[in-house]
Structure 1
Amino acid sequence: MKAILTFHSIDDRGTVLSFPPATFARMIEEILEGGVKICSLDQLLCPETDNALTITFDDGMRSVYENALPILKDANVPSHLYLTTGVVGRTNNWPTQPRGAPAFDMMDWQELEACVDAGMKIESHTVSHPNLCRLDRQQIEEECETADLSIEKQFGRRPEHFAYPYGIYDARVAEIVGQKYQTCVTTALLPIGKKLKAAELPRLDSYYLQKRRDYRHFFSPTASGYLRLRHGLRVFRSMF
């Protein structure tokens, strides 16, 4: 089995986007102790790869640089950051941010450079974090292209992977964006299945992983069943 994990902020604030640094460190340590490989997205999606995870972060919160990066460096494991380029060095107050959403400081380009030097790959999460379903084709392409050019200018590498803002997409958006990247990731709470849709890859939200007592048996039947139940509840609620 294999899966993509998604994090936002690594901090002790207790928000819906927060994951405690101590728990993050323990998770990484115990996953590796349990024999599960932590690898890049490209490695994860190779057909021969099994019993593996990929670590991803969304948006670009400064706490990733401050609290997650030292842990990842010590463990010598790769990761990917889906960057919202329009708020680099600012806060996460993008135009579509819901009222009452927790505020976070974002990394600046120098801090992002340190992440890259430590083995993190910077991927695309648009410029302004919009709901892509509300944009026309030209606007979607501009959101992607402008973000990609900023990342390429800073790091000499064009993003190869993409995360839908808020996990929101439809068939039209997937068709437009899917042509631009090797993969696009969603917020579907599932492991990677045998039948891959490169433009609709699921990820496991770290919010549902915080209370595990032990991460050594990451893909145990009990743990996997719990996540599938949470996914089913999400789908059910979205129907009403």
Structure 2
Amino acid sequence: MSTSNKVPILMYHSISDSKNSLSLSVDKFYNQMNFMKKKGYNTINLNEINQNDKNKFIITFDDGYEDVLINALPILKKFDFKATCFFVTDYLNLHNIWDQHKNDFILLKTMSKIQVDEWLKNGMTIGSHTSSHKNLQKININEKISQISRSKNFFKEEFNIDVKFFSYPYGSYDNETVKIIKKYYEFAVTTKRSRYIKDKFNEYLLPRVPVNKNDSLVKFFLKIKTPYEDIKYKND
């Protein structure tokens, strides 16, 4: 195995005091970012993941919630951190209706095009989370291509940006899906749990470290600085 540095790719969704299971409180997010700054960490983007510099980490947000702009962005700017937000392009300025089958479903507002532009103007990065958040393992190849390509085309048409980053909805993919992703994107993140280790993971199946609403700062430390995620979930 490579002895290169292990890079935690943090996975967040909503940053708010909502009771939604995917929402991390604003205070906890602040404390986590403050912790990373005090430990000498700096953020990089996915395309910089094979740098040899120590103490690098990546911040990602799935779904593109409005509260990420309102609550997380000021904190990111305070600590001079950058982050990538993955958007569901058909549902900008709407809500997370793809989660409505969940027993604990709570409505969350997504960013509008104007807010996406504000995210970009503040030095942040965007990625695709498909056009309508469908499970890519459960649809045919034509639907897969549509879900994967339409979201990329949207950002090219609306923002003149060639989006290079992708996040699999629900963390679900198959070999057919990965082949399509390789045609449209350069990096893709999963929900497989581990810090990134060069030569162990490829750029289209990058693992992440999920940050959960009940995680204490001690557990956050374990996920970032120790093999906790690498070993505990190595067979996932």
Structure-2 separation of matches of 1:220 and 1:126: 32
Name the aligned partner's letter for residue 157 of structure 2.
K
Offset at 1:179?
2.7
Structure-2 separation of matches of 1:133 and 1:144: 13
Matched with 2:207 is 202
Offset at 1:40?
1.6
**Does the alignment pair 1:22 with 2:27?**
yes
Structure-1 separation of matches of 2:211 and 2:182: 25
Partner residue of 1:129 out of 119, 129, 133: 133
Q: 1:164 to 1:216 in 2, by over 3 A?
A: closer
Cα RMSD of the aligned pairs, angstroms, is 2.1
Offset at 1:182?
0.8
Q: 1:172 to 1:208 in 2, by over 3 A?
A: farther
**Does the alignment pair 1:102 with 2:80?**
no
Structure-2 separation of matches of 1:6 and 1:18: 12
Kindly report which structure 2 residues correspond to 1:70-219, keeping only aligned pairs within 5 A, or say none: 70-94=74-98, 97-100=100-103, 101-195=105-199, 196-207=201-212, 210-213=215-218, 219=224
Deviations 1:85-129 (A, max 9, x none): 1110011113x7533332201111111111111111111111110
Contact 1:34 1:217 in 2 (8 A): no
Offset at 1:155?
1.9
Matched residue SS, 2:178: helix
Where do 5+ consecutive residues of structure 1 fail to align?
A: 236-240
Structure-1 separation of matches of 2:57 and 2:72: 16
Offset at 1:15?
2.5
Q: 1:51 to 1:167 in 2, by over 3 A?
A: same
Name the aligned partner's letter for residue 34 of structure 1.
K
Offset at 1:16?
1.9
Where do 5+ consecutive residues of structure 2 fail to align?
A: 1-5
Report the identity percentage.
25
Name the aligned partner's letter for residue 47 of structure 2.
D
Structure-2 separation of matches of 1:175 and 1:188: 18
TM-score (norm 2): 0.89
Offset at 1:26?
1.4
Offset at 1:14?
3.4
Contact 1:58 1:83 in 2 (8 A): yes
Contact 2:137 2:177 in 1 (8 A): yes
Structure-2 separation of matches of 1:55 and 1:145: 24
Deviations 1:133-183 (A, max 9, x none): 122222111112211111122221121010000001122211221232111
Structure-2 separation of matches of 1:200 and 1:97: 27
Contact 1:32 1:216 in 2 (8 A): no
Structure-1 separation of matches of 2:109 and 2:213: 23
Structure-2 separation of matches of 1:26 and 1:118: 21
Matched with 1:238 is none
TM-score (norm 1): 0.87
Structure-1 separation of matches of 2:184 and 2:100: 25
Matched residue SS, 1:203: strand
